[in-house]
Amino acid sequence: MRLLDCIALATLTCNYLAPAAGLRAGVARVEITPPAGERMWGYENRTKPATGTLDPLYSRVLVLEVDDVRVGLVTVDLGRVFGPASLDQLRTAARRFQISCLLVSASHTHAGPIVQDAYRDGTPMWERKALNGIEDSLKSASENLADARIGIGYGTTYIGHNRLKVNEDGTVSWFEVNQTRIPTAPVDPIVSVLRIDKANGRPMAILVNYSCHPVVFGPDNLKYSADYPGVMTRVVEGALGPDVMSFFLQGAPGDINPYYAVTPLEEDAAGRRDWTGKTLGEEAVRVAKQVQTESNPNPSIQFIEEKLPMHIRWNIEGFRLGLKRFLGDAYDQYVGNISTDIELPLATVLINKQIALMTAPGEPFVDFQINWRQRCPVPHAFFLGYTNGYFGYFPTIRMASLGGYGAASASTWLEVGAGERMVDRAIVHTYEMLGRLSREPEEMRRSH
């Protein structure tokens, strides 16, 4: 009941719309590249630390405001978002800048530093510096809000494939690389573009939502890189002008690899990365240039945040095995505090009653993004994976029953059906914010 009361309070607070202030927006950016020497995220067989930087890692910040409601979006060129203590630090900072809801989302590059929920020797210096830089960016974006217009557009491109091949006999094969670009299913080729302009019609921010693992570089790469999303952002910014900030919003790529995954450096991995990012970026540019932004006469920003209770999928030993893989050196320190029940942080944001964003704290399979878009009761639905936490893979019920990496491996921690429950909750919350679902029965509402 306490949970329901909190959700109801958040809904009531965010549904209040004072007269007539328009949408305002602000952006900021900070480099968060660590120094050489940090261990790198994403490949168990990569045992050597980073030797340098191929291209810089960034955090980008967008703040949106209508009346007294502010939502902050922070994207990071990292394999996952920060742990609970670091996220709490950012939320505390956000509240100082009157940000009501904060979304922190990772691109999932496998060429960034390791990020953990907890560290044996305390939070590393690079992460502390990154957190301070992001706080400054939240402050800058909040203090430089400007009247804004918003618009949405869609395109299509194929840069990847489904890496879990279901065979005729029901077994699942690992399909890591697809250099001949054989069609697979399911994939989601839709490029969703949210464009934010200043009042004069000049673009301020371009948000690109797409689902594909950033794993063009393989374990032989020992230099930091944002992988293909970094190329995509540079393509967009280069085409739309120096005042534009481009954001990559990773979707639900739990079973999606780029065609040229884990390309060895000697086989032109950098060139394959550039092709992948340029292909996505050029389609995003084409769409963004066609988007017509507008000022909504009745702007609104609403949100509902929730902690969704979940059970662990495996027995405790299976769960510990999965944790050990992702926590590394912090395993011994962290695992003693683990229970078999977890609360997933979820957020649903509704802008102008037309644009819905749902978050997932881990690696959802692509079917969830497709399902969310099909079922969402507003015209525009964005899916943000790797956001506000990290709890491993979220396979569909069907794929959990068939198996394969991310579907029945130790990297899948939570109960079967966790992904379906998350999408259902986001849809329910969207209906609630639209006023089409009530927390009172019809008889009570009629009596009012």
CA angle 150, 247, 37 (to 5 degrees): 165
The whole-number average pLDDT for the span 395-419 is: 95
Helix (H, G, I), strand (E, B) or coil at 4: helix
Q: Do residues 76 and 104 make contact, with C-beta atoms less than 8 angstroms apart?
A: yes
Which whole number is the average pLDDT over 363-375? 98
**Total number of residues shown for the chain:** 448
Using one digit for the tens of pLDDT, what is the confidence trace for 314-347? 887 766 776 666 556 555 544 444 566 799 999 9
Which of 150, 154, 67 has the alpha carbon at shortest distance from 373? 154
Over residues 44-55, the mean pLDDT reads 95
- Write down the pLDDT at residue 25: 98
Residue 112 neighbours by CB distance under 10 Å: 28
Q: Work out the widest C-alpha separation in the chain, in whole angstroms.
A: 73
Q: What is the pLDDT of residue 400?
A: 98
Confidence of residue 447 (pLDDT cuts 50, 70, 90): confident
How many angstroms separate the Cα of 335 from the Cα of each of 90, 313, 319? 24, 16, 10
- Beta strands in 243-379, from DSSP E residues, in sequence order: 245-250, 256-258, 301-311, 341-351, 355-359, 363-364
Q: What are the start-end ranges of the H helices in 269-330? A: 269-290, 316-327
- Report DSSP state, residue 51: -
Residue 314 confidence (pLDDT)? 86
Instruction: Write the burial class of residue 232 (CB in 10 Å: 0-12 exposed, 13-18 middle, 19+ buried).
Output: buried
Element (H, E) at 155: strand 146-156
In the three-class reduction of DSSP (H, G, I as helix; E, B as strand; rest coil), residue 300 is classed as coil
**pLDDT tens digits, residue range 116-137?**
998 888 999 999 999 999 999 9
Identify the pLDDT of residue 346: 98
Can you give the pLDDT at residue 5?
43
- From residue 88, how far is each of 64, 94, 305, 342 by CA, in Å? 20, 10, 15, 17
| CB atoms near residue 16 (< 10 Å) | 11
With a cut of 90, say whether residue 199 has pLDDT above it: yes
Using CA atoms, how far apart are residues 117 and 254, in angstroms rounded to an integer?
Answer: 20
Instruction: Note whether 400 and 408 are within 8 A (CB).
Output: yes
CA dist list (Å): 92 to 97, 133, 298, 335: 9, 14, 30, 26
Q: Phi and psi (nearest 5°) for 191?
A: -100, 110
pLDDT value, residue 273: 98
pLDDT at 334: 47
Check residue 336 and give its pLDDT: 47
Give me the pLDDT at residue 338, please: 55
Distance CA 260, CA 254 (A): 16
Examine the pLDDT at 382 and tell me if it is beyond 60: yes
- Sorted by sequence, the CB contacts under 8 Å of residue 368 that are 6+ apart come out as 252, 360, 383, 394, 396, 419, 420, 422, 423
Supply the pLDDT for residue 299: 97
Percent of the chain with pLDDT over 90: 83
One-letter amino acid at 28 equals A
For residues 302 and 349, give the distance between their C-alpha atoms in angstroms, rounded to a whole number.
6
* Confidence tier at 410 by pLDDT (50, 70, 90): confident
Indicate the pLDDT class of residue 12, thresholds 50, 70 and 90: very low
Rounded to an integer, what distance in angstroms lies between the CA atom of residue 131 and that of residue 226?
A: 18
Q: What pLDDT is stored for residue 2 in this prediction?
A: 41
Cβ-contact 115, 79 below 8 angstroms: yes
Secondary structure tally for the chain: helices H, strands E = 11, 20
pLDDT in tens, 77-114: 999 999 999 999 999 999 999 999 999 999 999 999 99
Instruction: Kindly indicate the confidence band of residue 44, based on its pLDDT and cuts at 50, 70 and 90.
Output: confident
Q: Output the pTM of the full model.
A: 0.92
Compute the mean pLDDT over every residue in the chain, rounded to the nearest whole number: 92
Question: What tokens were used for 308?
Answer: 């969704």
Torsion, Cα of 194, 199, 204, 210 (10° steps): 0
CB-based contact 358:318 (threshold 8 Å): no
Per-residue pLDDT, 326: 59
